[in-house]
Copies of this chain bind each other. A is one copy, B any other.
Amino acid sequence: MNYTIFGESHGPAIGVTLTGVPAGIVLDLDEIDREMARRAPGQNAWSTARRESDRPEILSGFFDGKTTGSPLCAVISNTDTRSGDYSRTRDLARPGHADYPAFVRYSGCNDYRGGGHFSGRLTAPLVFAGAVAKQILAPRGVHIGAHISGIYGISDDVPEGWADLCAVASKEFPVLNDEKGAQMKDAIAQAREEQDSVGGSIECAVFGLPAGLGSPDFGENAEGIFSQYLFAVPAVKAVAFGAGTAFSLMRGSEANDPLYLDDDGSVKAEQNCAGGINGGITNGMPLVFEVTMRPTPSIARPQFTVDLARMENAVLELQGRHDPCVVPRAVPVIEAAAALAACQLMGI
């Protein structure tokens, strides 16, 4: 299964083409809508109208309620785009954004309106693709859960298992510990008030993957496969498996998971420091990873930058309201990336 996301924030439509989808998968479109809603902006009572306009239309690869096995293309129309007046800011490279490298990469021809192909809106088709992937994985016993593990230094609790993370997914603010969640929301509100933004992290687990998937070799190892999907999510700057960066503080005697034979005859690890992967191959334990997401680069404060048309130093003052923290809405996006990675690992 491969995916290609296309579209620009202010173009006619955004969407995704999925190839290699197995034939005969019954797609629950309402479930897909629910996944889309988790990522949609303004997740509250009055957001219904917006959600509907984000509903993807499946153009191909879907017939009689099932996937056909041919490429599946889904599009979401950009009905709501008022391009507005970009003349004042279009040449000012927004710090922390891809404006400058994209200007070089695309010879100044990329669609600059609303972030163009770099817009966070492009994660909507990714969530769609992930929702399809989840419906392929679920009948195979593979499930995915995630929570906000931290925002601006405030950490959520450590999940104990699938049940914990499953309950979290249906929450408006997906944390295990709501008290910590309240503190995180305060930190976000505070940042917004100060015309600023905050970063954070998401922890995600894939449950039910069998042992023996992946390989130590380049292009096939489980960590490499997952990381490629995860770094394709905007704002992700670090990916860590199992104990992650804490491994640098540990001894082998702590980091090595003692193995034992479980009652069902399977080999298990007592802890799961390895995050379900040894030597690039799944070991049958939950595949656990954490991603770090940078603070939203769109902030209202004046920022020093360069005018790319005149090639001179300039000051940028961004207008408009921006998400002061992308982490909460990114939880289903990370799950989607994990679902697609899990499909690749399983040879789907």
Contact = CB atoms under 8 A, between A and B. Distances in A.
Interface in A224-260: 224-225, 227-229, 231-232, 234, 236-245, 247-260
A237 B199 CA distance: 22
Nearest to A103: B212
Contacts of A59: 6-7, 11-15, 75
A329 to B, nearest CB: 16
A217 B301 CA distance: 29
Contacts of A93: 259, 267
Given A98-B216, A237-B241, A297-B256, A106 B23 contact: yes
B237 A231 contact: no
Interface residues of A, number: 142
Contacts of A249: 152-153, 199
Most buried by B among A6, A67, A225: A6
How many copies of the shown chain assemble into the complex? 4
Contact of A96 (B61, B234, B252): B252
Contacts of A135: none
Given A104-B211, A257-B96, A197 B150 contact: no
A162 interface: no
Contacts of A62: 11
Nearest to A10: B63
B199 A247 contact: yes
B232 A95 contact: no
A208 interface: no
Interface in A95-142: 95-102, 104-111, 116-118, 122
Interface string A296-319: 111101011110100111000000
A19 B247 CA distance: 31
Interface string A252-292: 11111111110001010110011101111111100000001
7 contacts: A8-B60, A96-B252, A96-B274, A199-B251, A247-B294, A252-B295, A252-B297
